[in-house]
Amino acid sequence: MSVVLPLVMLMQIGTDLHVYPQAQLPAITPRRPAASAKPTAPPDRLSECLAHGDDDLDAGLTAARAWLAEAKTAEERVAPNQCLGLLLTDDGAYGEAEAAFAAAIEAITPPSAPGAVPLMALAGNAALADGAAARALGWYDRALAIKDFDNPGARGAIEAVRARALVALDRAAEAQAALAEARRLAPGDAEVFLLSATLARRGQDLKAAQGFIETAALLDPVDPRIGLEAGVIAVLGGHDDAARKSWQSVIAAAPDSAPARSARAYLAQLADAGPAKPAPAHPAEGR
């Protein structure tokens, strides 16, 4: 008899993602200034600023603020604000990071608007991490409204994180539409199909969820979150052996990861549950 496991929220794939570190969001742009923003600083100074923060986050934040203080014009503030926003994100100061990205965006002139799109996405990511889904949605919608930004993959990634914001706002049908557009724009993005699988599974459409998770696994065979979600879909479909194999593969591939911790807990539920005894809800990691 299949074990009944608690459904995993779209915002909690594989680990507790109530707060998103930047690295756990779909990539929107390299950590470099947008070319069309035309910052007047030397082209490598942003890289130096970020590297400084990688070595010592506090020192990097101090350096970013000092660089910002040097700026004489709005245009010169774009790159230091981008550095500051990224480092503040790394520091978990998501509200301040959003403000830094917003300042960079406001300094970009209308003719260079496409250069602001990645920064709008980063501002949205920071807002989402700060628990402000409505603000995040506003940033994503603003970014997607700039038609001159001709980068289908990046637009697809923005639609994917936009779907996260919509789920947080209990707007599942709109999230489904956003993910359908993301799949059209970014058919090679495993993250998009992972999110699609989870949302379909939450809607009890296990057939669609299975198709999406199979595509995600083909695109990224080593992502442990995909193996974790594949197991959840399998067990809800009554395929306990397949679920066990998926979760065991997660543990083997990434034993110290959050998905592996969840996989171990789910395997314990499979082992403990009898024919007439559903598994208890997993209390850890927001599940």
pLDDT of 282 > 70? The answer is: no
Q: What is the pLDDT averaged over residues 54-68?
A: 95
Residue 31 token pair: 């950590």
Q: Which residues contact 72 (CB under 8 A, 6 or more apart)?
A: none
Q: How far apart are CA 180 and CA 27, in angstroms?
A: 18
pLDDT band at 140; cut points 50, 70, 90: very high
The greatest distance separating any two alpha carbons of the chain, rounded to the nearest whole angstrom, comes to: 71
pLDDT band at 9; cut points 50, 70, 90: very low
Q: Scanning the structure block, which residue is given the tokens 């496991």? A: 5
Q: Scanning the structure block, which residue is given the tokens 């799109």? A: 117
Residue 233: closest CA among 175, 193, 177: 193
pLDDT band at 43; cut points 50, 70, 90: low
Give the per-residue pLDDT at 111: 87
Residue 210 Cα to chain centre, angstroms: 21
List Cα–Cα distances, 239 to 7, 40, 161, 201, 214, in angstroms.
16, 58, 30, 15, 15
Residue 8: closest CA among 240, 202, 237: 202
Q: Scanning the structure block, which residue is given the tokens 């230091």? A: 80
pLDDT of 224 > 90? The answer is: yes
Cβ atoms 188, 218 nearer than 8 A: no
Residue 220 Cα to chain centre, angstroms: 15
Q: What is the pLDDT of residues 176-217, one digit of tens each?
A: 999 999 999 999 999 999 999 999 999 999 999 999 999 999
Q: What is the pLDDT averaged over residues 7-35?
A: 32
Q: How far apart are CA 272 and CA 257, in angstroms?
A: 23
Give the per-residue pLDDT at 251: 97
Q: Rg of the Cα trace of the chain?
A: 21
pLDDT of 270 > 50? The answer is: yes
Q: How far apart are CA 273 and CA 246, in angstroms?
A: 18
- How many CA within 13 A on the CB side of residue 283? 0
Predicted TM-score of the model (pTM):
0.80
Q: Is 80 helix (H, G, I), strand (E, B) or coil?
A: helix
pLDDT of 1 > 50? The answer is: no
Euclidean distance between the first and the last CA atom of the chain, given in angstroms as a whole number: 22
pLDDT of 87 > 80? The answer is: yes
Measured from the Cβ of residue 202, the count of other Cβ atoms closer than 10 Å reads: 16
Q: Residues of the chain with pLDDT > 70: what percent?
A: 80
Give the per-residue pLDDT at 126: 95
